[in-house]
Amino acid sequence: MRATVLVLVETINDYVSILEDQGYELIMAPSPAARAEAIEQHADRIDAVLTRGPLGLTADEMATLPKLRIICVLGAGYENVDLPAAKAHGLTVTNGAGVNASSVADHTLALLLALMRDIPGADASVRRGEWAKTMRPSVAGKRLGIIGLGAVGLAIAKRAALGFDMSVQYHNRSPRDDVDYGYCANPTDLAAVSDILIIATPGGAQTRAIVDAGVLEALGPQGYLVNIARGSVVSTPDLLDALQRQAIAGAALDVFDDEPNVPDALKTLRNVVLTPHVAGLSPEATQDTVKMVERNLTAFFAGEPVLTPVQL
């Protein structure tokens, strides 16, 4: 069967051959305008949609696509895919949970090192010819707290514990019985026993603003925050207030509430490091995530169970 896939993501151009080689016809729509135009012009041809969590797929869009049968999400998060609507339309939804965990974990440690060692500031001083030297804290031996111990959280914990001799504790919806890391019942308790708090939990209504003023207060003026999950998990007003008052030492952020729009107040702060939601982007991770999409599509259209279903 030659299925038609509407591709809403903007980062897989070098890997579309993985899908095309299996006979899928692709409609590329990587911008809001192209997306609206593609749905309007090709609604009666689209069998599948490839999207990302922040891009999602709305109930109205699903209702406009009479042939749609499956939604594939590139990456783990699917917070803006309307799952009740997908269920009502009898659709299958898949994601790429864990496929890019190594890339995200690498970027997380890179952000942490850049933040705590002030790599951006040191680089800028050399470029200006100032040769400014500042005393910065060591990363080794610190107490690490991770909110969300899924595939990404586990990859971060492994790097931190084995590479930087950190003690690791975590908060999950429930404790895991397959790890030796300490468990905390809530984010506030975790922050209170952490020097560094890393957010690696899925986005969505259940985790919205679970890191708020109370959690940041518990983290304290010597504590650092790294968010590579979703911007919605952290209360941005509370984080801005804590950073401006130096109620925490600093934050490194790869995700934001309204991407690509970043609050100007964040851009002016000296105690932050900002990257444009690129933690999961690497040639290796992107190739693997597209391969997972292909495997899910091929299984689905062959009448077989998909590999990574999202429970509706």
**Edge to edge, what strands does the sheet with 70-73 contain?**
25-28, 4-7, 48-51, 70-73, 92-94
**Residue 93: which of 106, 112, 76, 105 has the closest Cα?**
76
Catalytic residue among 52, 107, 159, 277: 277
Give which of 166, 165, 171, 162 is closest to 144, Cα–Cα: 166
Give which of 178, 222, 172 is closest to 199, Cα–Cα. 172
Looking at the DSSP bridge assignments, the partners of residue 81 are 57
Give the span between the Cα atoms of 47 and 174, in whole angstroms.
37
Count CB neighbours of 133 within 10 A.
Answer: 8
| Residue 230 designated active-site | yes
Is-catalytic flag, 259?
yes
d(CA 112, CA 168): 15
Please give the DSSP secondary-structure letter assigned to residue 171: E
Find tokens 């980062």 and name the residue.
11
277 part of the active site: yes
**Residue of 259, 270, 284, 295 with catalytic role:** 259
For tokens 């020097």, the residue is 195
Q: Of 52, 171, 230, 294, which one is the catalytic site residue?
A: 230
Which three-class secondary structure state does DSSP give residue 199? strand
C-alpha 197/C-alpha 299 separation (Å) is 39
How far from 159 is each of 63, 106, 193, 222, CA to CA, in Å? 44, 8, 19, 22
- Which residues are designated catalytic? 230, 259, 277
